[in-house]
Amino acid sequence: MPEAKGTRHNPAARILVAEDDIAYGETLAQLLRQDGHAVRLVHDGEDAIRVLRTEGHLLSLVLTDLLLPRRSGFQVAREALEAGVAAPVLVMTGLYDDMRDIRALRTLGVRGWIHKSVPFEHLLFRVNALLWPATANERRSARVAVSVPVQFRLDDRVHYATSYNVSSTGIYVRTPEPLLEGIEIEMALSLPTAREMVCSRAEIVHSATVEDVRGTAYPAGFGARFLNPSPLASAAIRRFVEGVSQEEDALVAPAGSEKLEPVSA
C-alpha cells in the first residue's frame, strides 16, 4: 500500500477501491490520491479479497462496486466482515436498487451505498463523511452533499449558483468568483421540500478560488454561515437537511428496521 500523505483538506487515509470499469476506477483513484490518500486499486473481486486478507488491518475505507468479475461486491463485503476488517465499506453501483439486495448488504456490515452517476465531488464528500464522522469533528451540525439552486445578492447584483453541501447552520456554494471573508450577503435557496424560496442573510466564512482547488475534486466557491434566519426559514433548512441525512443513514440502521432506502447524494 502506498504512503498516505494527506492534504490541507483532510488527514491521510488508506483506501481500497475495487472497480472493474477501468476508466471510472482510475479517475476515482486519481482524485483520492490528489486528496492525499493512499489508494490500492483492483479490478476484480478476487484481488479485492486478497488485499483484505493481507492488508485489511491497514485500511481506512473500502470502496467496492457490486458487479465485479470473479467475486462480487457482496462477497467482498462478506470477506471484510468475516476477516474482522475495521474499515467501513461503501458500495458503489450504477444498477442495483433491489431492496432485498440492499438489506443483504446491511447484514454484511456495509455502511452505505451510492450510485456511480453522482458527481465525483459528492462521492468524495461521502468518503470523507465515513472517514471522519460529524461526531468526530468540530462542526456543530451535520452537512449533506446536495445540489440545490442558490441566489445571492452582492453589491445590488443577483448571482445564480448551486450548492455543494448544506447544513442547518450554513452552506457551501459553487462559484468561480471569490468573495471576501467576513462580508454579508442576502441568500435564497430553492429546497425541494419547501414551497417557497428560503431566504436568509449569511456571512462568508471561507472562500476558495479555482486556483485554490486546482488538482482536487473540490469546487471553487464559498462557505457561508446563516445569520439569524427567521424561524420558518430555519425550520425549512433543518427539515431538508434532516431528511437527506436520514436517507443517508438508512443503510446503517439496526437490522430489522422497516425502512431502508438508497443513499441520496
State the architecture of 14-132 in CATH terms: 3-Layer(aba) Sandwich (3.40)
How far is it, in rounded angstroms, from Cα 209 to Cα 213? Answer: 7
How much is the pLDDT for 186? 93
Which residues, at least 6 apart from 186, have a Cβ–Cβ distance to it below 8 Å? 152, 153, 199, 201, 202
How much is the pLDDT for 254? 35
Q: Where in the chain is the domain with CATH 2.40.10.220?
A: 143-246
Does pLDDT of 249 surpass 80? no
Higher-confidence residue of 174 and 3: namely: 174
Cell of 64: 467496492
How far is it, in rounded angstroms, from Cα 121 to Cα 111? Answer: 19
Does pLDDT of 99 surpass 80? no
What mean pLDDT is predicted for residues 94-106? 65
CB atoms within 10 A of CB 195: 7
To the question of domain 143-246 being in CATH 3.40.50.1980, the answer is: no
Higher-confidence residue of 101 and 167: namely: 167
Does pLDDT of 253 surpass 50? no
**What is the average pLDDT score of the chain?**
81
Does pLDDT of 86 surpass 60? yes
CB burial string 158-184: b at 16+ within 10 A, e below: ebebebbbbbbbbbbbbbeebbeeeee
Cell of 104: 443483504
Q: Where in the chain is the domain with CATH 3.40.50.2300?
A: 14-132
Per cent of the chain over pLDDT 70 is: 81
In tens, the pLDDT along 201-242 reads 999 999 999 888 877 767 889 999 999 899 999 999 999 988
In tens, the pLDDT along 107-150 reads 777 887 788 877 787 788 788 878 876 544 444 567 788 888 99
* H helical segments located in the chain: 22-34, 45-55, 73-82, 99-107, 120-131, 231-249
Could you tell me the sign of the dihedral formed by the alpha carbons of 101, 104, 108, 109, in that order? positive
How much is the pLDDT for 105? 73
**Whole-model pTM above 0.75?**
no
* H helical segments located in 166-259: 231-249
Helix, strand or coil for residue 242?
helix
Cell of 263: 443513499
How much is the pLDDT for 68? 92
Q: What's the order of all strands across the beta sheet hosting 38-42?
A: 38-42, 14-18, 61-65, 89-93, 112-115
How much is the pLDDT for 259? 39
What confidence tier does 96 reach under pLDDT thresholds 50, 70, 90?
A: low
Orientation of helix 73-82 relative to helix 99-107, angle to 10°: 20
